[in-house]
Amino acid sequence: MQRSQRDPGEVLRRARVARGWTQARLGRLCGYSASKISRWETGDVPLRDVDVMRALAGHLGMSPTAFGLADTAGGKTGSANGSSTRLWRVAPDAEEDPVDRRAFLAAAGAVGTGLAFPHSAQAADSALDPAAVLERRLSTVLIDGTPTGPAVTRSVLQAGLTAATSDFECCQYEALADRLPALIASAENTHSEHPAPAVAALVSQTYQLAARVLGKLEVGGLQPIAADRASHAAATSDDPVILAAARGAVATAARRTGYHGAGHALRVSLDAAQTLLDNHASAPSAALREAGMLYCGAGYAAAVRGDRQRSVDAYREAVGIARRIAVDQDRERVLAHVISHQISAAHRLGDAATALEYARGVRVDALPTRERKARVLVDIAQSWSMYGQPVKAYKALLAAERVVPSEVHTRGAARRLVGDLLGSPRQAGMPGLHDLAARVHATT
């Protein structure tokens, strides 16, 4: 007998498939076996537990109303025109899309561009500058006055944050430019009406995401604003992990200001990490994971200051912390973060050979998101350029563009690199360089 599309099990199945997740993956996130997820989806076991459905909705980035539940956290389900729906609808997850290993070999070894790289996403219209769109829209909500947007319930806000984070991790920057400013506005107005610690935590996480996005752009003034607001919101969240992450966002913004800012970033990152390590009993895996990330930030800040030994020590600490994490997914995420950070740090220290050596040891499947994969590819390209191999740098950039075009078209580092390549006397070995420059909106 055909099941109704409103049946909770069918809703669950369709949402999971839309995310591109296996039953096993969803089960790991929610604490259930794959067979349990399967029985709910097929109807062999009716999905009726309200708390379970709310938890599933949260992990899938859905409003609980998708399961036919009332959104009781604040008595609202969003506006009639669907504004809350725009906040939480999640695009199909690209994290598990196949990323051809040859792309990484081409980048790390620059073996050539004649390989059949898969286009994992359609190339963006080169007439549209995604970085400019992000900067303009985030500037409007951050500095042009009080943001306007509907106050929503906490669960809708959480779903919106999940969706925006998915956009970021999948490098869906055009979608993020639409979603994130509206999310910031709703987060602020929701917090004004319901100033609870749990809402403050979501406000902080939303601003932390904005700071991460702004870190990709050439403009530097907006990132500190977002990081500062994340820190202020985190202070009333009653969540030490979110507070530590917000301090990490402040440190990252400070680091971009140069040598002295990097010194401040180093101190802030190490202090926040140590505080978590001293008081992590309530949420050990989450606290250790964030402490590991903070040590990675400290490692890069040390590299900005030219302090090689302190950078090496920080990454060694991050690895040691990661090995203490009981949750496999969290442990592997930190370890992958370490290796990708070490490439960046070695490049910043002027040691291109070491950066490329790290790159050759990267396990593609260990990098947790498309955003992280794309960052590594662009960092490899920069390292080849520093190594005096502009043609290999160009080929690595093309490999990155074929894997995740939106990252190359948006990230400031990629634009600067293309600008440098345009000044190279070896352009004969870089056919199509001017076309690439147009696609990334590099200065010619």
Better pLDDT: 37 or 73 = 37
Band (116; pLDDT cuts 50, 70, 90): very low
Using alpha carbons, list the distances in angstroms from residue 371 to 173, 337, 403, 414: 10, 12, 10, 14
Residue 97 reports pLDDT greater than 80: no
Question: Looking at per-residue confidence, does 187 or 143 come out higher?
Answer: 187
**148 vs 97, higher pLDDT:** 148
H/E stretch holding 333 reads helix 328-348
| Cα radius of gyration (the chain) | 22
pLDDT above 90 for 70: no
**What's the first-to-final CA gap in the chain, in angstroms?**
63
Cα distances from 51 to residues 30, 47, 55, 56, in angstroms, run: 12, 11, 6, 9
Per-residue model confidence as pLDDT tens digits over 421-433: 999 999 999 999 9
User: Encoding tokens for residue 181?
Assistant: 């400013």
Higher pLDDT, 74 or 206: 206
**For residue 270, is pLDDT > 90?**
yes
Which pLDDT band holds residue 78 (cuts at 50, 70, 90)? very low
Supply the DSSP string of 138-201, one letter for each residue.
HHHHHHSSS-------HHHHHHHHHHHHHHHHTT-HHHHHHHHHHHHHHHHHHHHH---HHHHH
pLDDT of 29 reads 66
pLDDT tops 60 at residue 81? no
Confidence of residue 365 (pLDDT cuts 50, 70, 90): low
84 confidence band (pLDDT: 50, 70, 90): very low
Which residue has tokens 């403050």?
200
Q: What's the confidence (pLDDT) of residue 108?
A: 62
Query: What pLDDT sits at residue 437?
Result: 94
pLDDT for the residue 260: 77
Give dist(CA 91, CA 164) in Å, integer.
10
The pLDDT tens digits of the residues spanning 393-422 come to 999 999 889 888 999 999 999 999 999 999
Distance CA 217, CA 139 (A): 12
- Give the model's pLDDT for residue 326: 86
Tell me the mean pLDDT in the region 319-326. 91
Instruction: Name the band, by pLDDT with cuts 50, 70 and 90, for residue 392.
Output: very high
Q: What is the rounded average pLDDT for all residues in the chain? A: 82
Tell me: pLDDT of 219 over 80. Answer: no
User: What's the angle, vertex CA 424, arms to CA 216 and CA 426, rounded to 5?
Assistant: 125
- Judged against a pLDDT cut of 70, whether residue 341 lies above it is answered with yes
Highest-confidence segment of 117-131, 205-219, 355-369: 205-219
- Give all domains of the chain, ordered by start, each with its CATH number: 8-60 (1.10.260.40), 102-129+369-444 (no CATH)
85 near 12, Cβ under 8 Å? no
| Per-residue confidence (pLDDT) for residue 122, from 0 to 100 | 37
User: Is a pLDDT exceeding 80 seen at residue 158?
Assistant: yes
pLDDT at 194 over 80: yes
The pLDDT value given to residue 104: 55
pLDDT at 1 over 60: no
Give the per-residue pLDDT at 59: 73
In angstroms, what CA-CA distances link 123 with 32, 86, 405? 38, 24, 6
- Would you say residue 280 has pLDDT above 50? yes
Per-residue 3-state assignment (H helix, E strand, C coil) for 14-50: HHHHHHCCCHHHHHHHHCCCHHHHHHHHHCCCCCCCH
User: Per-residue confidence at 49, pLDDT binned at 50, 70, 90?
Assistant: confident
